[in-house]
Chain A
Amino acid sequence: QVQLQQWGAGLLKPSETLSLTCAVYGGSFSGYYWSWIRQPPGKGLEWIGEINHSGRTNYSPSLKSRVSMSVDTSNNEFSLKLTSVTAADTAVYFCARILSPSGYDSFDYWGQGNLVTVSS
């Protein structure tokens, strides 16, 4: 059974860098793309970007200037960094696996979510 376990700092000050890591247990790591998605409190879901095992990335244009993702294939982990955070970046951040049967991408396994609050 695939499990995604994520961690990172939960309270940041404006202008600091958000850093989260997601570890993948069970299943293949190299055969998939991996994604980050966030959800502001009481609001909907926003896709941040994706990365595969070789480090190929694709970011949302709205966050591209502040986002970077990386992989550690030796530990089956992938990470998110978001620089220069503001209160608007306060959200629950989820990591997720992208399933692609016949080219139809969807998010089939999710981490538990981490609330990141940006406040001075």
Chain B
Amino acid sequence: DIQMTQSPSPLSASVGDRVTITCRTSQRIANYLNWYQQQPGKAPKLLIYAASSLQNGVPSRFSGGGSGTDFTLTIGSLQPEDFATYYCQQSYSPPYTFGQGTKLEIK
């Protein structure tokens, strides 16, 4: 299985801050990397697919980058509704695996 490691966790920030979450994979996966946001008690929401493609309806302050083994999710200017847990997920080969999650907390 491909192992996924996210950092940092947790992450403390303030409204208006620019933050970056990193995801590292145990083997090269080209750009087969997705990012999700999960609010407490809710299902995850797809933000970014194929490492850098913004899902329809997702605000443009979210952006993704990277390829190979190192990936990033950047939120350009934090809004109150962005405080949640974020997961990366690889779709390079089954079993599809997720990172352990990064909880974004209000400072």
Residues of chain A touching chain B, judged by Cβ–Cβ distance below 8 Å, are 44-47, 50, 58, 60-62, 94, 96, 99, 101-102, 104-108, 110-113
Interface magnitude class on chain B: 20 to 34
Separation of A104 and B1 alpha carbons in the complex (Å): 18
Q: How far is the CB of B9 from chain A (nearest CB, A)?
A: 11
Main secondary structure of the interface of B (DSSP, over half): loop
Chain B residue at smallest Cβ distance from A35:
B96
Given A60-B95, A104-B50, A106-B49, A45:B43 Cβ within 8 A: no
Contact A44 B101 (CB under 8 A): yes
Chain A residue at smallest Cβ distance from B47:
A106
Contact A105 B91 (CB under 8 A): yes
Contact B99 A111 (CB under 8 A): no
- 8 A Cβ contacts from B22-54 to A: 31-32, 34, 36, 42-46, 49-50, 53
Contact A111 B43 (CB under 8 A): yes
